[in-house]
A = this chain, B = another copy of it.
Amino acid sequence: MAKPRVVILGGGFGGMAAAKALGKDADITVVDRHNFQTFLPLLYQVSTAGLAADHVAYPIRGALRSFNGQFRMGSPISLDHKNRTVKLDSSEVLPFDHLIVALGSVTADFGTPGVDEYALGMKSIHEALMIRADVMRRFEDLCRFEDDTRFGIAVVGGGPTGVEMAGALAELVRGPLMNDQKHAAKHIDISLLEAGPRLLPMFSPSLSEKTKVSLEKLGVRVLVNTAVKEVAPRKLLLRDGSTLASEVTVWAAGVKGSPALERLSLPLDGTRLKVAPTLEVENYPNIWGIGDLAGAKSKDGRFLPMVAPVAMQQGRFIAAQILRRAKGAELKEFHYKDKGSMATIGRHKAVVEVKKIRFSGYPAWATWLFLHLFYLMGGRNRIGTIADWLWNYFTFDRGNRHIMDSM
């Protein structure tokens, strides 16, 4: 029996999990616009000088070697359903028996003006290095002044991404920058804005409150019930008519399905791909959707969260579905096993919630640390990350605060 030809659009958590689970059982080609997978959960540490940029990236070809998987750098531009091919922006046409659409998500501005122009998202290494450079450059500007000029950084969005970013920024300012130049570091204001009534809405209210208190202890101004109407140069216009000074605005308010999906002319459910409970695209046999852009739903009819564990479970599940179909067996329905949520706030500070179990502080922080190292792809990145983390932990320093966006 010939191996099925499987083309996987997107080399993120979902796509790579599917590729690895299929392994030698299929002829795999992964397509991605980058030649590396980005470990998004640690991107905020690149933004805040805690990790080297190269440590949160892993070459896709390296991950595909063990089973001779192919890779193409590029983006899909159209699908030919009759001939079952996908065309890439390089003009190459790839034939497939199965197509896995795993293109992930992009920053969602929810129609807020100015986000594209004046805010930085948290979806790519490029953006992370721009945030790092912007923060460090403003800090260097402040170092020249001996007056009361202040420098505002605003993080918009009180979910785990925003919380982790705000906490890491606060520790960067309170630690390394304070040691670099005290006067300047004391004139930096970090705000975290959340439109809803509390931080981390997917956690229980007690952990939300603990998170708020921890961030405030680190010097972060936490503003809940605070919606952003517009991002303008050097400031935010808020829904209540007031303004907030912000030289650097980080937009962590949410994500939406990748717009690359639109070119594929597949049925959508909002910005997500319309998939059956089998994760097959409705009416398109052998085309599958996984991860952030797939509109898979939980039992209560709500979209599954756009997080790495969903994508990884779906990736492995899809691999099994494809092999089931190859054997003529019946498809199964996907059910997400929620292993809980966690967010780190800073040194020895994190929150973890697994069903009814909730904990915070040191044990939560240790759990977070262990799981992130465990899920980090590739031995080299793990070694490098441990090295950077040990250094930061024992010296209270951050060694990567370089401004690398210019010549």
Asked if A67 lies at the interface with its beta carbon under 8 angstroms from chain B, I say: no
Contact residues in B for A137 (Cβ distance below 8 Å): 73
Asked if A358 lies at the interface with its beta carbon under 8 angstroms from chain B, I say: no
A72 with B143: CB separation less than 8 A: yes
Q: When chains A and B are docked, how far (Å) is the Cα of A406 from the Cα of B35? A: 11
Asked if A53 lies at the interface with its beta carbon under 8 angstroms from chain B, I say: yes
Q: When chains A and B are docked, how far (Å) is the Cα of A137 from the Cα of B49? A: 27
Contact residues in B for A367 (Cβ distance below 8 Å): none
Q: Mark A36-64, 1 if CB is under 8 A from B, else 0.
A: 10000000000000001111011101100
A92 with B397: CB separation less than 8 A: no
Given A52-B54, A404-B126, check contact A144 B90 (CB 8 Å): yes
Please give the distance in Å from A143's CB to the nearest CB on chain B. Answer: 7
Q: When chains A and B are docked, how far (Å) is the Cα of A90 from the Cα of B141? A: 9
Q: Mark A172-193, 1 if CB is under 8 A from B, else 0.
A: 0000100111000000000000
Given A383-B387, A384-B388, A391-B380, check contact A403 B35 (CB 8 Å): yes
Please give the distance in Å from A36's CB to the nearest CB on chain B. Answer: 4
Q: Mark A378-406, 1 if CB is under 8 A from B, else 0.
A: 11110110011011000101011111101
Given A35-B136, A52-B384, A391-B380, check contact A61 B180 (CB 8 Å): yes
A402 with B34: CB separation less than 8 A: yes
- Residue in chain B with minimal CB distance to A55: B52
Tell me which residues from 120 to 176 in chain A have a Cβ below 8 Å from any Cβ of chain B: 124-127, 136-137, 140-141, 143-144, 176
Please give the distance in Å from A387's CB to the nearest CB on chain B. Answer: 5
- Residue in chain B with minimal CB distance to A391: B380
This chain's copy number in the assembly: 2
Q: When chains A and B are docked, how far (Å) is the Cα of A73 from the Cα of B133? A: 13
Among B404, B406, B407, the residue within 8 A (CB) of A53 is B404
B401 with A35: CB separation less than 8 A: yes
A380 with B384: CB separation less than 8 A: no
Q: When chains A and B are docked, how far (Å) is the Cα of A55 from the Cα of B52? A: 8
Asked if A65 lies at the interface with its beta carbon under 8 angstroms from chain B, I say: yes
- Residue in chain B with minimal CB distance to A399: B380
Please give the distance in Å from A104's CB to the nearest CB on chain B. Answer: 14
B140 with A57: CB separation less than 8 A: no
Asked if A71 lies at the interface with its beta carbon under 8 angstroms from chain B, I say: yes
- Residue in chain B with minimal CB distance to A145: B92
A35 with B391: CB separation less than 8 A: no
Contact residues in B for A181 (Cβ distance below 8 Å): 61
Contact residues in B for A36 (Cβ distance below 8 Å): 401-403
Given A54-B54, A407-B124, check contact A402 B35 (CB 8 Å): yes
Contact residues in B for A59 (Cβ distance below 8 Å): 180, 399, 401-402
Please give the distance in Å from A32's CB to the nearest CB on chain B. Answer: 11
18 A–B contacts from the bound complex (CB under 8 Å) = A34-B403, A35-B136, A35-B402, A52-B55, A52-B384, A53-B53, A53-B54, A54-B54, A57-B404, A59-B180, A61-B181, A72-B144, A126-B404, A380-B388, A383-B391, A384-B384, A384-B387, A384-B388
**Considering the complex of A and B, which 3 residue pairs feature the smallest CB-CB distances, nearest first?**
A52-B54, A380-B399, A61-B180
Please give 16 more A-B residue pairs, beta carbons under 8 A apart, in addition to A380-B388, A383-B387. A36-B402, A52-B52, A53-B53, A54-B399, A57-B400, A59-B180, A59-B402, A62-B180, A62-B399, A72-B140, A73-B403, A92-B144, A126-B407, A381-B399, A384-B384, A387-B387
